[in-house]
Amino acid sequence: MAKVKKAPRPKAITPKGFRDYFGAEVSERSEMLQKIAGVYHRYGFDALESSAVETVEALGKFLPDVDRPNEGVFAWQESDDDGNGDWMALRYDLTAPLARVYAQHRNDLPTPYRRYAMGPVWRNEKPGPGRYRQFYQCDADTVGTSSMAADAEICAMLSDTLETVGIPRGDYLVRVNNRKVLNGVLEAMGLPEGEGARDNVLRTIDKFDKVGEAGVRELLTKGRLDASGAFIDGVGLSDDQAEPVIAFLTSKAADVAKTFENLRGAVGTSVIGAEGIAELEQIADLLAAGGYGADRIEIDPSVVRGLGYYTGPVYEAELTFEIFDEKGRKRQFGSVAGGGRYDDLVKRFTGQAVPATGVSIGVDRLLAALREKGRLGGRVEGPVVVTVMDRDRMADYQSMVAELRNAGIRAEVYLGNPKNFGNQLKYADRRGSPIAVIEGGDEKENGVVQIKDLILGAKIAQSATHEEWKERPSQFEVPRDQLVAKVREILEGQDG
């Protein structure tokens, strides 16, 4: 009889494009999200948790990888008797679910509806360095008002959020632009609606931060050689047609009044362009009234990311401090949040235009920025470890750990083999434990416990002389009923 083949063991590897997050990273993210939620709550926004799964129909046009069209989401078909069940997908952002929620529950929601949402999203895209298929987003949106006060509020809230999580004033800028101004520029160029030329111009404008004014001018006209020496075809516009785009992208001046003057020159007689400039002026006035100067939020027409998606004001939070890249070169950290006005999203469900505006914070990038600033990534404090000197006295040790926990102190009992006490201290060190509690037979008989300050002990071991070692003991003997008080005293001293 042939031997039954054993099933191969599964490989213990993380799926491609995903990663695992351990204690410190999860704690840092949770703490940051809690601070952000506090700011949003203070501004009057309500929390919303929508389903992680939506119908593909509800998600609408998603964001496929350019090399893998129509595969931008993780989707599957529900089975039914006819084999024609709905297609379902993991959400790729938090905005499309908001449109569905608002359309579905609009009669029960206030208008305008302010909501914030935080959670993972999934994109079925090719992974790369720092680019994962699952990542966290943190959004805030206002649905149901066309007032520029809503856009100004989002910008102010974004500024407050960055400062609250630890990005100091001077290390960031919230920059504001308007899609309507760009539409006015396209009109001034004589480009008709709905033709490929507009899309080509938009794609070229999107490269402004990479190739600069001269590069955009070349790409709009005859083309240019890139850094590798390859020739990139241009859009084919004349120099005169390209000029309004260049004027638009370079219109930012030292003061905002001059910026608006330059923008009026770029849009010429376009009505939609003038409307966009007026909206930017309203936002600037509202922010100034709230005390948000150009050192925090500024009008900047060079913000072009996402202009193809948004219908009005757009904003981007950029961190301005310098970091070193993997090759040791200085560069600015860059964008950590972006958003704008999207007045057509809910219309897919209702048939009626519903104005909306919102912002999305890149949680992982913001965490990386805080680490660069030294605000995160320090020593993570583990639990107080109650060691086990006698396995028959586990009830005593459990009693100690319960007292510590009831006093609000993070604590645990060592659950490994208690034979080797050195291994227990090695475990405490690996856990990042600040304190070890020791009660052997002699201590039990005398009604005392030993409390070892592991942080101080490590410092003494590294730098102290023998005399200093004697003068600065890191282990204390206290009566059993003073366990909690002494542990708290040591912890407070470590924090200081």
State how far the alpha carbon of 168 is from the alpha carbons of 33, 163, 228, 320, in Å: 17, 5, 39, 11
Annotated binding residue 305: yes
Please tell me the distance from the alpha carbon of residue 399 to that of residue 423, in angstroms, as a whole number. 22
Annotated binding residue 40: no
DSSP H/E element including 59? helix 56-59
Annotated binding residue 310: yes
The number of CA neighbours under 13 Å toward the Cβ of 494 is 24
Please tell me the distance from the alpha carbon of residue 370 to that of residue 372, in angstroms, as a whole number. 5
- 93: nearest Cα among 54, 47, 150, 43: 54
- 306: nearest Cα among 129, 182, 186, 213: 182
Please tell me the distance from the alpha carbon of residue 44 to that of residue 90, in angstroms, as a whole number. 29
DSSP string computed for 244-269? HHHHHHT---SSHHHHHHHHHHHHTT
Annotated binding residue 93: yes
Please tell me the distance from the alpha carbon of residue 236 to that of residue 241, in angstroms, as a whole number. 10
What tokens appear for 225 in the block? 């050689």
Annotated binding residue 332: no
Annotated binding residue 123: yes
Contact 49, 91 (CB under 8 A): no
Please tell me the distance from the alpha carbon of residue 428 to that of residue 411, in angstroms, as a whole number. 11
Q: Helix, strand, or coil here: 287?
A: helix
CA 491 to chain centre: 32
What tokens appear for 189 in the block? 């160029």
- The structure tokens 């494009």 sit at 17
DSSP string computed for 419-436? T-HHHHHHHHHHTT-SEE
Annotated binding residue 309: yes
State how far the alpha carbon of 12 is from the alpha carbons of 9, 15, in Å: 9, 9
Residue type at 116 in one-letter notation: Y
Contact 156, 297 (CB under 8 A): yes
The values of phi and psi at residue 454, to 5°, are -75, -30
Annotated binding site for L-histidine: 93-95, 123, 137, 141, 305, 309-310
Annotated binding site: 93-95, 123, 137, 141, 305, 309-310
